[in-house]
Structure 1
Amino acid sequence: MKKIKSSFEQLSIFLHLLKWSAYALPLAVLVGSLVALFLWLLDKVTTMREQHEWLLFLLPVAGVLIFFLYKYAGKNAEAGNNLIMDEIHEPGGGVPARMTPLVLITTLITHLFGGSAGREGTAVQMGGSMAGLLGKWMRLNRSDLRILLMAGMAAGFGAVFGTPLTGAIFALEVLAVGRINHTALLPCFIAAFLADITCSAWGIRHTHYAIAPLQAAAAHLLPYLHFNGILLMKVILAGICFGLAGFFFAELSRNIKKYSTQYIKTPWLVPLAGGCIIIVLTLVLGTSDYLGLGVTSAHTNGVSIVSSFQPGGAGYTSWFWKLLFTAITIGTGFKGGEVTPLFFIGAALGNAIATLTGAPIDLMAGLGFIAVFAGATNTPIACTLMGIELFGGEYTLYYAIACFTAYYFSGHSGIYRAQRVMSTKTGASS
């Protein structure tokens, strides 16, 4: 009797696999193609902004344009990632298909005129809105629609960074602190994997980051120990700093949004003011390195994510300025995302910590890259996997230590309002 029951269980699992493969394939192809288009257009507008620096002076006008686009065409799409997460928690009005063109256009506007923003928010929102559209067409029940929305998030995240495994786990882990729903694990992985393949098939190539081999780094610090205890302590200390940076970013962004709407009574003046502040800060600092994505710099010896992996590639305060620019940009209503700027903040902070402590600069920049993200989003498992997918598995122990330390020291703050706290980080139920 047990053997018969087991056979039926395996058949049920097989049918489940076929079902979600059929659902995930069109979603992944659609989302992967949209992400490829987005990344191609993003590269074009970034190049245009770098060639025409005067475009920055139109950033306040761009912010007002974004405000009215969402006011008259956006409706509930304004909530972005939080709307998708709310729909996964408690299905209600649905995720509108108009979210895709709106977030695509407004993110490109933000980057064209110099806003400091990312790209994951756009990819995740396109994934979620397309999942909502397909779910409506297929007339899925609430349970299956929730899973498809998670798969859409995974597809967008996995394709935009070229990290499908991270995308799958991120979509599950980000929803609630202290709980991961494994029901959607397979659909999320299938969608993220196929979306990444689709995006790559369109000729999109992601930035390559490299960290020196373990033996070279260890020999530089403590050649007579197989396990580098001193480096481990430096990583723990850095993890605390990364967590605090993630906390600071989340709280600053939230407070800028809260108090700007509280004290500026005319709503469209909020992005206008935000754009003006970004212009003033850029002129005062005398550099445009903190505008846009920040993956690379248009200037020789400029600060960027890539430069942060090199000695002297980031100053001691570069991470703070990118944090401030991004918090103002996102907090005053511009669109895009926070994750790529978080990579910049973490890599630059890691560079500064490595310079002060004598740790390997490329390793510490890589740890900051993933750990500040882990702290700001409360997703340490996904970020540990991201380290493996981006930098290789040789430093997996250090990835995990940095990400989990940052996760704990970021408190219960996070960049996503809809993220639920199912249990505190000390183990108590919420």
Structure 2
Amino acid sequence: MPASFNTLWLRFQPAALLRWLIVLVPLAVLVGTLCSAFLWSLEAATEARFAHPWLLFGLPLGGGAVGWLYYRFGTSVEAGNNLIVEQIHEPGGGVPLRMAPLVFLGTVVTHLFGGSAGREGTAVQMGGSLASWVAGIARLDAAGVRIVLMAGVAAGFGAVFGTPLAGAVFALEVLAVGRVEYGALLPCLLAALLGDWTCQMLGAHHTLYTVHTLLPVSEWLALEPVLLGKAALAGVAFGLAGLAFAEANHVLGGWMKRVVPYGPARPVIGGLAVIALVYLCGTRDYLGLGVWAPDDHVVTISSFFGDTVYPWSWALKLLFTVVTLSCGFKGGEVTPLFFIGAALGNALGGVLGVPPDLFAALGFVAVFAGAANTPLACTIMGVELFGGAHLVPIAVACFVAYVCSGHNGIYLSQRVGVPKTAGEGVPVGVTLREARTRIPRP
């Protein structure tokens, strides 16, 4: 008989605890191992792209090949993260195991040839597909499947970014707007910690970002009202940027599917469009992850934590990423959102007369908070990445961005748990996909 795991964990019965450990520990270690291999592969692909600039011209061919693989073998997993969220809400057919190798390969190909995408989607999808496979082997009931899927998401997110606490809360918060699924708190925390530890022990490393601006103790204790007011004002911009990113992806992606119904052709067109953008903008700085570059003159996320102000880098990265993802290339949205947010924070720092590096840190997490509707996870991520000295302005920026991004987001399978504002006519329980049809779009 299937094991009922929905309450056994919280009872701390020895047998139940042992069963959970038997399920969760191997899952988290496996996800952490795959994330480590994935990070190493991305680094190798990025090094190859910088060493051989001509690889950019293979982007249409590489995208078309991956598109054909999904068309031939991956139609059931093409929904990606949204499929995992749907299965957590209503466990049914499960998440096919082939999602993991397909998205792994597809994302590496995207970055090898220069597509602007991220890595979170790949880690979450690998974690979700492996979790579904483990749940099937363990013969869990629907409640157990939900918890294991959430744990898989937590392990993947925590391992790929090196932020286990944020990974655990992200898995609990991403399911429904305005609601946190505390019932899976301990399993998600355990999985995120083990996934991150495994990834680190296998030698994967994460880029460190430093906020050099330190608030005086007196200002920090007083919460510096002027600074917090500017953080709230920036939070409005961050939320609108997250909304613009999500809406542009949905609109352009939907239009591409209508105009080009044959799936493998869309990334071919997208690859040609990215090449055209490179020559129109006269730069390759907005290709790939944007996390590091061998040349100090290339704009990366780290660039925004210095004294130089980059007024339009956020818009260019948004454009390159929307074109890449909406045309069917594989990868995540989160790292590009980090880039967009840090660049926008850097630009706003110059306008608002505040330290650009501090507001780059705020934007780093707040744009993601608005686009993914996960303000708690992003606030915790800000502390894990930048330390607790700036917790209050980070929280202000994330919470304001969350409110200002509306009932939209990068994960349309999210459900509305608690509407953000009254009077918009969004009933509890509908998905964001349904909410977009009820509210006039910008």
CA contact (8 A) 1:115 1:291 kept: yes
Q: Match for 1:277 among 273, 277, 289? A: 273
How big is the shift at 1:142?
1.2
Question: How far apart are the structure 2 equivalents of 1:385 and 1:265?
Answer: 41
Match for residue 116 of structure 1?
116
Change (3 A) 1:17 1:394: farther
Q: What letter matches 2:202 in structure 1?
A: W
Using the size of structure 1 for normalisation, the TM-score is 0.93
Q: Match for 1:315 among 297, 310, 318? A: 310
Question: How far apart are the structure 2 equivalents of 1:204 and 1:180?
Answer: 30
CA contact (8 A) 1:322 1:344 kept: yes
* % identical aligned pairs: 54
Instruction: Answer yes or no: is 1:358 the counterpart of 2:353.
Output: yes
Residues 276-295 of structure 1 deviation map (CA, whole Å, 9 limit, x = unaligned): 11001111212111000001
Residues 229-257 of structure 1 deviation map (CA, whole Å, 9 limit, x = unaligned): 22111111100000000000000001111
Question: How far apart are the structure 1 equivalents of 2:263 and 2:201?
Answer: 42
Question: How far apart are the structure 1 equivalents of 2:152 and 2:204?
Answer: 19
CA contact (8 A) 1:250 1:414 kept: yes
Q: Alignment length, in residue pairs?
A: 418
| Mapping 1:134-145, distance limit 5 Å | 134-145=134-145
Question: How far apart are the structure 2 equivalents of 1:166 and 1:198?
Answer: 17
Match for residue 71 of structure 1?
71
- The unaligned stretches of length 5 or more in structure 2 are 1-7, 429-442
Match for residue 4 of structure 1?
none
Instruction: Answer yes or no: is 1:229 the counterpart of 2:225.
Output: yes
Q: Match for 1:249 among 240, 245, 249? A: 245
Match for residue 338 of structure 2?
343
- The unaligned stretches of length 5 or more in structure 1 are 1-8
Match for residue 400 of structure 1?
395
How big is the shift at 1:22?
2.6
How big is the shift at 1:422?
2.1
Match for residue 148 of structure 1?
148
| Mapping 1:1-400, distance limit 5 Å | 12-15=11-14, 16-212=16-212, 214-215=214-215, 226-312=222-308, 315-400=310-395
How big is the shift at 1:74?
1.0
Question: How far apart are the structure 1 equivalents of 2:10 and 2:90?
Answer: 30
Question: How far apart are the structure 2 equivalents of 1:405 and 1:103?
Answer: 33
Using the size of structure 2 for normalisation, the TM-score is 0.91
Question: How far apart are the structure 2 equivalents of 1:267 and 1:41?
Answer: 26
Question: How far apart are the structure 1 equivalents of 2:170 and 2:197?
Answer: 18
How big is the shift at 1:302?
2.0
CA contact (8 A) 1:213 1:394 kept: no
Change (3 A) 1:253 1:332: same
How big is the shift at 1:421?
1.1
CA RMSD of superposed structures (Å): 1.9
CA contact (8 A) 2:68 2:263 kept: no
Residues 59-106 of structure 1 deviation map (CA, whole Å, 9 limit, x = unaligned): 111111111100111131111111111111111111111111110001
- What SS does the aligned partner of 2:301 have? coil
Question: How far apart are the structure 1 equivalents of 2:194 and 2:297?
Answer: 38
